[in-house]
Amino acid sequence: MSLLRFKMLETALSHTAKEVAAPSSNPSDYFGELVFGRKQMRKYLNTQTYNALIDTIENNTPLTQDVADAIAAGMRQWALEHGADHYCHWFQPLTGGTAEKHDSFAEPDGYGNVIEEFSGKVLIQQEPDASSFPSGGIRNTFEARGYSAWDPTSPAFIVDTTLCIPTLFISYTGEALDYKTPLLRSISAVSKAATEICRYFDKNVEHVYTFLGWEQEYFLIDDALWAARPDLVQTGRTLMGHEAAKNQQLDDHYFGAIPSRVLAFMKDLEYECLKLGIPLKTRHNEVAPNQFELAPVYEEMNLANDHNQLIITIMHKVALRHHFRVLLHEKPFQGINGSGKHNNWSLGTNTGVNLLSPGKTAFENLQFITFLVNVIAAVHKHNGLLKASVMSATNEHRLGAGEAPPTIISTFLGSQISSVLDKIESSRSSEDIRFDAKNVFRMSGLSQIPSLLLDNTDRNRTSPFAFTGNRFEFRAVGSSDNCAEAMIVINTAVAEQLAEFKRIVDAKIERGEKKEKAIYESIRQTIKQCKAVRFDGNGYSDEWRAEAAERGLDCETSTPIVFDRYLDASTVEMFSKMGVYNKIELEARTEIKWEMYVKKVQIEARVLGDLAMNHIVPIASKYGGVLLDKAWKMKELGISSNTDIELIEMIQRRTAKIQTLVREMIDSRKRANRIEDMREKAIAYHDTVSVYLELIRDEIDHLEEVVDDQIWTLPKYREILFIK
Ligand code: ADP
Ligand code: MG
């Protein structure tokens, strides 16, 4: 074993569980204590200010300068009392992750003293000098600066000693440069459209909320071993590494006992998260060795997404205290499962009804089926776009890999719901819909749903978009994604579809049809239209691939081409009609997607080229030399050394192949770099550069099998992947 590898392994083995005790065993004692939530607002703001802020949060009422100043003063006082000395506008740029620029509360007063300055103006708006964030060309002109604007609907919080204020990040001309702005727009679009539909059923509905419950998968590895793998450090995944003899075949990791070091990390993380008001609920081992998952209780979508972004920051921080590194790459290790982020999506009313939950009466179920069918129709119409929303240079290694959702978006409903829809589709309304003596709507299939659903156990793990009893679960989202990207698409597509549905129903009512019948008929029509996207079978099978193509679903697998869906006429129309993105924003964001794709593959190609040439080839050659020396001497002594010669030839063949492939890869990269058009460049990287990563890796992994373990420098899978 090389000295470095030995030292790192020794260090890793010396790391033991580091218990961190929460100050109280009762989470309600500290839940949300670092959040400027309603309880804190009540305490630190006077009644008038508090009421004005609540009015802004709930009804979007603009704040006056005076009120903003009063809020800022209260918030500052609370923050100072809780150990903060800086504040920052916290936003979600398109690079992924979150950005923060810290400013001190203390400002020089010009007379040699400092005053604690934090006005309503700086709370509401800032102009961070953040010109390096990608804008897809939107901010190319000198006056088009980006600024951050307070999002009062997501409460401020304290991390370390900084008050973080959740903000939107927009260009001077109003275009969104982040994830939060379009997410809020899409939430408001779907809320408006859904509220209008709800009012067919219940006039008391005034608002529809959009909920998100995310489940986050991740890997943990020891930080010493991480540091000895330049590929992990630079790209977040291993670009080489022979599979360990034992990995996940025995399924002994899944839901197994959590290793004590990991449990200590999880407890520490939970404590930090609960203080920040993130309602973490579950934690468990995942399928692959060293893979874990955590999930909070679902929340209103904007807050849920902020919490997911925040937890990612906190995870990295807490991990370091336990000598771990968190890997959020979708496919950090070949041959074992990758990581995703399941997004559980649902809609609920201000009257407390989950619109994706069956009700007790036929009338309630008509509402449930209305929403269910319209969601399916939205997914059908925009299935290619939905895929584009989760595609990336990193997630492309996971999607379609036979362990994760396939690269074709379909919905799974389970046999009971499917049969209800089939029944509606084939029914003849004159026979199946009845109104009894009191004019109450009856329909046998719809009246029976609740009892049937109790047995919704046949959940299909191969489906990317599954109905799971009271919500849809989008499972194709990548572990490193910002959930918003996918949620923006689903919210907007559902908003568009609901608006269209309403138009059709209203036209029928205007022609004199009874409301229930008009809705029922429109549902029947919609079920017929979107049938192609419903698939309850095995999403991994080859037959499905062929059938999906026949059904007209999007089967494209090349990531840069999948991004084209963002610029389809139907996409542009949908986003602009729903007020979520204009054409300029869509073009800019797609440009950024291509650019990020190029950069990620470019970095991987560079790292692999370097490692191949300055780690692998020298080590393998050195071992080849040792064998050659031995064979030479044996020949002199007249002893046969055929097997050594075979090995020498194999090593020579593979090292020569690696050298050739690396040279070719560099040439391909150079050719691709000369392409101006970003889309074309991304396609070139996909088709002519990334292919080399696999070819080179294959040669290296074969060498790892035969080269003397004593001189191999990089920690191996079997060492990295099994935390004790
Ligand atoms: P599984 O792993 O079986 O999918 P989990 O219990 O790990 O289930 O996660 C389910 C997730 O779905 C949790 O985050 C939970 O809060 C969320 N969830 C439950 N009900 C809803 C709902 N109505 N809307 C959105 N999310 C929900
Ligand atoms: Mg799940």
pLDDT in tens, 113-143: 666 678 888 888 887 766 667 777 765 544 4
- d(CA 524, CA 430) in angstroms, rounded, equals 13
State the average pLDDT over residues 179-204.
97
Average pLDDT of span 319-340:
96
Say which residue the tokens 């780690």 belong to: 615
DSSP 8-state code for residue 448? T
pLDDT above 90 (res 268): yes
pLDDT tens per residue, range 16-51: 888 776 667 788 889 999 999 999 999 999 999 999
589 is a domain residue = no
Distances (CA, A) of 83 to 24, 76, 106, 310, 686: 20, 11, 14, 19, 49
Q: Which ligand is nearest to the CA of 470?
A: 1
Ligand 1 atom, smallest distance to 342 CA: 4
Tell me if 18 sits within 8 A of 322, measured CB to CB.
Answer: yes
Better pLDDT: 551 or 538: 551
pLDDT of residue 452 exceeding 80, the answer is no
Question: What's the CA gap between 651 and 647, in Å, rounded?
Answer: 6
Q: Residue 152: which pLDDT band, with cuts at 50, 70 and 90? A: very high
The closest-lying atom of ligand 1 relative to the alpha carbon of residue 354 is 23
Instruction: Give ion ligand 2 contacts, CB < 5 A.
Output: 215, 342
The residue whose CB lies within 8 Å of the most ligand 1 atoms, and thus the one to mutate among 471, 472, 474, 494, is 471
Domain holding 60: CATH number? 3.10.20.70
Task: Say whether pLDDT at 324 is over 50.
Answer: yes
Residue 482 pLDDT exceeds 80 = yes
Q: Which of 278, 286, 294, 298 to mutate to test the pocket of ligand 1 (most atoms within 8 A of CB)?
A: 298
Separation CA 170–CA 588 (nearest Å): 13
Q: Which ligand is nearest to the CA of 345?
A: 1
Cα 645 to ligand 2 centroid, rounded to whole Å: 53
| Per-residue model confidence (pLDDT) at position 456 | 55
Q: Which of 211, 286, 344, 355 to mutate to test the pocket of ligand 1 (most atoms within 8 A of CB)?
A: 344
Q: What ligand 1 atom has the least distance to the C-alpha of 295?
A: 14
HSE-up (13 A, CA, CB side) for residue 431: 6
Cβ atoms of 131 and 171 within 8 Å: the answer is: no
* CA gap 326, 234 in Å, rounded: 14
* 677 located within any domain: no
Identify which ligand lies nearest to the alpha carbon of 213.
1
Give the tens place of pLDDT for each residue, 541-557. 889 999 999 999 999 99
CA of 250 relative to ligand 1 center, distance in Å: 27
Q: What are the tens digits of pLDDT across the range 597-627? A: 999 999 999 999 999 999 999 999 999 999 9
pLDDT in tens, 578-598: 999 999 999 999 999 999 999
In a domain, 121, yes or no: yes
Residue 650 forms part of a structural domain: no
- Residue type present at position 307: H
Is residue 451's pLDDT more than 60? no
Q: What is the pLDDT, as a whole number, of residue 530?
A: 96
The binding-site residues of ligand 1, defined as CB within 6 angstroms of any ligand atom, are: 211, 213, 215, 282, 295, 297-298, 342, 344, 346, 354, 470-471
Under the banding of pLDDT at 50, 70 and 90, the label for residue 459 is low
CA of 340 to the centre of ligand 2 (A): 10
pLDDT at 222: 95
CA of 123 to the centre of ligand 2 (A): 37
Highest-pLDDT range among 322-336, 350-364, 411-425:
322-336
Ligand whose nearest atom lies closest to the CA of 472 = 1
- Ligand 1 atom with the smallest distance to the CA of 297 is 16
Number of helical (H) and strand (E) elements in the chain, helices listed first: 27, 19
- Which ligand places an atom closest to the C-alpha of 210? 1
Residue nearest to atom 24 of ligand 1 (CA): 346
Distance separating alpha carbons of residues 472 and 413, to the nearest angstrom: 9
Rounded mean pLDDT of 419-440? 73
Spacing, Cα 114 to ligand 2 middle (Å): 52
**pLDDT tens profile 155-177:** 999 999 999 999 999 988 889 99
Percent of the chain past pLDDT 90, that is, above it, reads: 71
Beta 86-91 vs 162-171: how paired, if at all? parallel
The verdict on residue 509 lying in a domain is: no
d(CA 370, CA 351): 18
Residue nearest to atom 26 of ligand 1 (CA): 213
Helix axes 414-426, 362-381, angle to 10 degrees: 100
Pocket test for ligand 1, best of 187, 215, 339, 467 (most atoms within 8 A of CB): 215
CA pair distance 95, 179, nearest whole angstrom: 10
Distance of CA 501 from the midpoint of ligand 1 (Å): 28
Can you give the pLDDT at residue 565? Answer: 98
Ligand 2 center from residue 474 Cα (angstroms): 9
Average pLDDT, the chain: 90
pLDDT at residue number 343: 97
CA of 473 to the centre of ligand 2 (A): 7
**Model confidence over 280-302: pLDDT tens digits?**
988 888 778 899 999 999 999 99
Domain range for residue 145?
A: 31-178
Residue 62 lies in a domain: yes
Task: State percent of the chain over pLDDT 70.
Answer: 91
The tally of domains found in the chain comes to 1
DSSP code, position 61: P
- pLDDT computed for residue 115 by the predictor: 63
Let me know if residue 656 belongs to a domain: no
Residue 392 included in any domain = no
